[in-house]
Amino acid sequence: MDLQLNGKVGIVTGASRGIGRAIAQTLAAEGMQTVLVARSEDLLDELAQSLPTESLVQAVDLRLPDSPAQIVSATLERFGGLDLLVNNAGATVRGDFLKLSDADWADGYSLKLFGAMRCCRAAWRHLQVSRGSIVNIVGIGGRTGSAEFAIGGSVNAALLNLTKVLADRGVEDGVRVNAINPGAIVTDRLQTRIQRLATEKGMDEVTASAELAREMKIARFGEPAEIASLVAFLASPQAAYCQGAIIDADGGQTRTL
């Protein structure tokens, strides 16, 4: 299927590894020019060199208020326009609610929520011109709370609501805004959880991986490329009637409405 993304321009935050890296690779394979955003410049440079289309590396910290505007400005200077913003950056600390510090909470919100909000605000008028779109990579913790995911769950819930807010505005402004909620995806973060479980229960990592999947009541973990394919679809004219959609890509882990 031709997704009609050839020659378009997209910003991908958190592009240095995991889901973000897969998104950048998939969009580039569809012919998009990409702006790769993360703090790890060496990883971004390596990724940029491997992509089949032109890319721009932006090694910045999205927790800093001025970073999003700088990214958008650099994008326009290099490519002359903007068609897609993918907000993927932002990891939050897990742990006992009573032991999480104010600094932990501030860090979680400043990167994932405020960083995404500022990127949307900086990109909005340029996406109006191109009648482009925003895809927020959020997480199923925003739908279902769990004791060890207090920061991430509340941040994700806020970002899901922001998706709906911007989608409502986007109807009039001509900007499509949608979100994807990944479940357990094979990334470094998931591997850390598997290693922690293996240590706690005195088992090898293969057994711990199977045990974690059983606890989640899923058949397997997802692959970053599966999330990336959804992003490409939502960014394309094939998804022109999707506005404010929130897609759970979690292998069935979320069982509530």
pLDDT tens for the 257 residues of the chain, in order: 789 999 999 999 999 999 999 999 999 999 999 999 999 999 999 999 999 999 999 999 999 999 999 999 999 999 999 999 999 999 899 999 999 999 999 999 999 999 999 999 999 999 999 999 999 999 999 999 999 999 999 999 999 999 999 999 999 999 999 999 999 999 888 888 888 888 888 888 888 898 889 989 999 999 999 999 999 999 999 999 999 999 999 999 999 98
- What's 222's DSSP letter? B
Domain boundaries, the chain: 9-184+223-248, 187-221
CATH of 9-184+223-248, one of 3.30.460.80, 3.40.50.720, 3.40.50.300, 3.90.1150.10: 3.40.50.720
Q: What is the pTM of this model?
A: 0.95
- What's 56's DSSP letter? E
What is the C-alpha separation between 203 and 224, in angstroms, rounded?
Answer: 26
Exposed/middle/buried for residue 100 (C-beta within 10 Å: 0-12, 13-18, 19+):
middle
Say if strands 33-38 and 9-13 run parallel, antiparallel, or are unpaired: parallel
What is the C-alpha separation between 114 and 158, in angstroms, rounded?
Answer: 10
Dmax (CA) of the chain: 56
137 SS3 class: strand
92 SS3 class: coil
Which two structure tokens, joined as six digits, stand for 44?
């971004």
pLDDT tens-place string over residues 22-76: 999 999 999 999 999 999 999 999 999 999 999 999 999 999 999 999 999 999 9
